[in-house]
Amino acid sequence: MAIFKGAGVAIVTPMKENLEINYDKLDEMLEEQIAGGTDAIIICGTTGESATMTEAEHSEAIRFTVERVNHRIPVIAGTGSNCTRTAVELSKEAEKDGADGLLLVTPYYNKATQNGLIAHYTQICREVKLPAILYNVPSRTGCNIQPKTLAQLVKNVDNIVGVKEASGNIGAVAQIMHLCDGNIDLYSGNDDQVVPLLSLGGIGVISVLSNVAPAYVHDMVYRYLSGDVEGSCKMQLDALPMCDALFCEVNPIPVKAALNLMGKEVGPLRAPLTEIEPAHREQLEKAMKDFGLL
C-alpha cells in the first residue's frame, strides 16, 4: 500500500530573523496545508533547507511535525545524507519519533557508483522498518539512480517502495516503470511534469507548488486519477508559468519569497542561499497575480 496518493508538499522551513526555526509558524503552515487538501507532509527535504540544519534541528523538526500532524495525513521525513552513517541515524530517529515514511536523496557530492548506491540504500533501509521513497535529483546531487539500479533495489529491499523522480528524463522514468513491472510508487519531483509522470503510472507528486497552492495541486492529481485527464492536463499547462517562476532561482529561494509576498511570514533563508533578485521577484509577482495568488 502506498504511503500516500496525490499531492505531498515539500514544505519550507520557516525561520525567525535570527535564523532559528520558527516552530509557531511551522505549526500554522501545517494546519493550512491539511485544510487545503494536501495528502502528505514532506519535512526536511531540499525545500526545507535541510542541508543547513544540524542533526539535532533535523530530528526536532521531524518530531515536531509528527506530533502536530497527529496521524491526520502521512508525514514523510527527509533523512537522506551523503554520509550513509548519518542517514541511518536520522532514519532511525525519525522512525522512533513516529514518521510514516522516509525520503532518501541520493548521496550528494560523493557521487557514488551504482554499486555504491545499492550498498548505501540497502544499509539504510535494513536498519529501519519504515517504507522509503528514493529521491533522484541529479541536477542537485551530481548522482543519478539508473533505472536498472532502482529496479534491483526495489526487488531486493522490501521497504524501498517508491521513487521521487526529478531527473526530468521521461524516457528514464518509462524504463523505471518497465523494469519494476509497475511495482513501485512513482512520484513526480518536478511540478511541471506531474501529468506526464501520472501517464506513466505515477500516483502523485512531491511538490514545491503545493506550498502556495495546495488545493490546486491536489485537485490536479486527483482529476487525473479519477479519469479527467483533459481537465488535469489543462491545470498542468495553466500552472506552467507559476512553476517556472518558482524555479527562476534555485529552490527554495523563490517559494519562500512567494510565501512572504502572500503574507505568510516564513522568514529569511540560511546562507549560502540569498534573497531573490529584483528581476526574478518581478517575474514571480507577475506569475502569482496571473495565477490568482496575489
Domain 6-228's class? alpha beta
Q: State how far the Cα of 133 lies from the Cα of 79, in Å rounded to an integer.
A: 11
- In the prediction, which pLDDT does 109 show? 93
pLDDT, tens only, 210-261: 999 999 999 999 999 999 999 999 999 999 999 999 999 999 999 999 999 9
| Catalytic pick among 108, 121, 135, 216 | 135
Amino acid at 106: T
- In the prediction, which pLDDT does 97 show? 97
Residue 182 in this model has a pLDDT that exceeds 90: no
Mean pLDDT of 186-210: 98
Q: State how far the Cα of 72 lies from the Cα of 101, in Å rounded to an integer.
A: 14
| Contact indicator for 169, 200 with CB cutoff of 8 Å | no
Quick one: cell of 250?
Answer: 534555485
Q: Which residues are annotated as a binding site for pyruvate?
A: 47, 206
Judge whether 135 counts as a catalytic residue: yes
Calculate the average pLDDT of the chain. Answer: 97
Mean pLDDT of 130-140: 96
Instruction: Map out the domains of the chain as residue ranges.
Output: 6-228
> What Rg do the C-alpha atoms of the chain give, in angstroms?
18
Quick one: cell of 267?
Answer: 522568514
Judge whether 164 counts as a catalytic residue: yes
- In the prediction, which pLDDT does 131 show? 98
Q: State how far the Cα of 218 lies from the Cα of 116, in Å rounded to an integer.
A: 36
Q: CA geometry: angle at 201 spanning 208 and 207, to 5°?
A: 5
Sign of CA dihedral 250, 83, 150, 123: negative
| Contact indicator for 255, 211 with CB cutoff of 8 Å | yes
pLDDT, tens only, 27-77: 999 999 999 999 999 999 999 999 999 999 999 999 999 999 999 999 999
Residue 1 in this model has a pLDDT that exceeds 90: no
Mean pLDDT of 94-110: 97
Quick one: cell of 238?
Answer: 495553466
Q: CA geometry: angle at 192 spanning 117 and 75, to 5°?
A: 60
| Catalytic pick among 164, 216, 256, 264 | 164
Q: What is the DSSP letter of 15?
A: B
Q: Which residues are annotated as a binding site?
A: 47, 206
- In the prediction, which pLDDT does 140 show? 92
Q: DSSP assignment of 152-178, as one string?
A: HHHHH-TTEEEEEE-S--HHHHHHHHH
